[in-house]
Homo-oligomer: A and B are copies of this chain.
Amino acid sequence: MDILDANPISFSAFPDDKAVFEPLNPEDVRAYLHKAVDFISDYYTNVESMPVLPNVKPGYLQDELSASPPTHSAPFDVTMKELRTSVVPGMTHWASPNFFAFFPSTNSAAAIAGNLIASAMNTVGFTWQASPAATEMEVLALDWLAQLLRLPTTFMNRTSTGRGTGGGVILGTTSEAMLVTLVAARDAALRRSGSVGVSHMTRLVVYAADQTHSTFFKACRLAGFDPANIRSIPTGSETNYGLDPTKLLKVLQADVDAGLMPTYVCATVGTSNAVDPVGAIADVAAMFNAWVHVDAAYAGSACICPEFRHHLDSVEHVDSISMSPHKWLLTCLDCTCLYVRDAHRLSDSLETNPEYLKNDATESGEVTDLKDMQVGVGRRFRGLKLWMVMRTYGTTKLQEHIRSDVAMAKMFEDLVHADNRFEVVVPRNFALVCFRIKPSGSMTEEDADEANRQLMEKLNKTGQAYLAHTMVGDKFVLRFAVGSSLQEERHVRSAWDLIKKTTSTIMD
């Protein structure tokens, strides 16, 4: 036993916790990641048979796992076991092919790989210099996507003739895109008004249709707009719930007549299928020098197909546009692309120039420092996964992906149309079908709302499908969002069969 005595440390004479701790030990990195890949593989194979909505109670996870952190380390297998036995059963499975709620959070092998590599490189690209390739990759991915969307070159960072005056940035959510453009528009309007500091803040007014995502109204409050000056303009079935530019003009004019300053109009392309007319809204806003932002979070992805691009007609007249590849362009969360026509209008409000970030590249004026186009300063290596998606799949496959989802949604819409118990409430534009049981016989509108609510609850309880609802006008409407990345035609057909069967149990 001489050897053991001579050098006890190398023979685990000390308990595990005394060994040098290497958080990126090469063997651990490989082993943990391989276990994670195995988990993902199993998960994708089995998720179809798991209840889409779980049946757990608030606080369940703390009851299953410990309420306090462990003192000592554990093999990674223990962590993975708890993930499988305690976490997975409490998940709502957005990756399930039976998930039709909210919007599809589409995904792809290339995006996940890109995100994985970004996590490992773990670079912080606040300035160009802090990681040139991270900034350049983000700018390149945004410029590629701008070309897929056929955005005017005024929105691009680099064009064939050199550096442009426009540009983009990848943010986490549409809300952030709205917030930073609202702040830029706010500051510009305050300057125009001759405000001392924010003294004229109560004069500024912002506008959107009542179908606009609630996050817009939240972003306005964050940016300090007066709650009384945040206008939600009513829409109706006569415009398919799109914003009526004539109505907008009247509201803006009335505000100006009252001494207020129209500052920002948000146009939405594709909320519950409503599409605001971008060009007409831009024309109205231009009369008042108001900023126009287009929120194309979901439907923007469809505009990479020529047959859908008309929804962005006249986009060259707006100030900014955002869309989220994490919704419908196969890029895992989070990834919201914001484009502005004049990047300086953003950075005028968002620039910080602390001593510790000063560097020659910034001072040369040759580079984009992405910290000046976002809420914070720190930032992930955001461009990589989006580039990997476009580089690997190419335009053709991405268009095929959109068209396949739209075809499945059209098939579902046709099935709804063919059953006279139902109605499609808003004409389908993309891969979202807004439908409901329609009143018939002695059924009132209220009865129909109740029947639809019951239908949704019963469906969701089966675990075999998950649908969400919304109100369109004053109707309770079911939203059937096609496109989860493991979804095939058979899943859509099964969901329809389940809807028909469940409806029969309600309407009997």
Contacts and interface: CB of A to CB of B under 8 A. Distances in A.
Contacts of A479: 356
Interface in A85-132: 87-95, 101-102, 105-113, 115-117, 119-124, 128-132
Interface stretch (A61-69, A278-286, A497-505): A61-69
A271 B262 CA distance: 41
A356 B470 contact: yes
A288 interface: no
Interface in A157-176: 158, 160, 163, 172-176
A36 B113 contact: yes
A130 B130 CA distance: 37
Contact of A394 (B69, B139, B366): B69
Given A39-B117, A198-B225, A79 B391 contact: yes
A223 B151 CA distance: 31
A214 B404 CA distance: 47
A24 interface: yes
Contacts of A102: 124, 130, 356
A56 B91 contact: no
Which of A33, A76, A176, A217 is the most central at the interface, judged by chain B CB atoms within 10 Å of its CB? A33
A138 to B, nearest CB: 10
Contact of A62 (B110, B158, B214): B158
Interface in A131-152: 131-134, 136-137, 139-140, 143-145, 147-148
A83 interface: yes
Interface stretch (A243-251, A253-261, A372-380, A439-447): A372-380
Contacts of A133: 54, 56, 61, 87-92
Nearest to A457: B360
A414 interface: no
A421 interface: no
A425 to B, nearest CB: 13
How many copies of the chain does the oligomer comprise? 2
Interface stretch (A4-12, A233-241, A312-320, A346-354): A346-354
A190 B406 CA distance: 48
Interface string A171-191: 011111001100100100000
A485 interface: yes
Interface residues of A, number: 164
Given A197-B226, A221-B183, A330-B23, A36 B117 contact: yes
Given A24-B107, A173-B378, A222-B222, A33 B128 contact: no
A94 to B, nearest CB: 5
A450 interface: no
Contacts of A419: none
Given A44-B26, A70-B395, A468-B356, A361 B58 contact: yes
The listed residue with most B CB atoms (<10 A of its CB), out of A31, A397, A404, is A397
Interface in A5-46: 17, 21, 23-26, 28-37, 39-41, 43-45
A396 interface: yes
A464 B175 CA distance: 41
Nearest to A117: B36
Contact of A132 (B68, B91, B213): B91
B70 A179 contact: no
A74 B391 contact: yes
A66 to B, nearest CB: 8
Contacts of A201: 198, 201, 224
Contact of A375 (B43, B119, B375, B486): B375
B144 A124 contact: no
A194 interface: no
A409 B68 CA distance: 31
A459 interface: no
A72 interface: yes
A214 B241 CA distance: 43
Nearest to A115: B119
Contacts of A400: 17, 21
A415 to B, nearest CB: 22
Contacts of A25: 109
B122 A380 contact: no
A367 interface: yes
6 contacts: A87-B133, A101-B130, A115-B115, A116-B116, A356-B469, A356-B470
In the complex, the 5 A-B pairs of residues with the closest C-beta atoms, listed nearest first? A224-B224, A90-B133, A175-B376, A173-B376, A23-B108
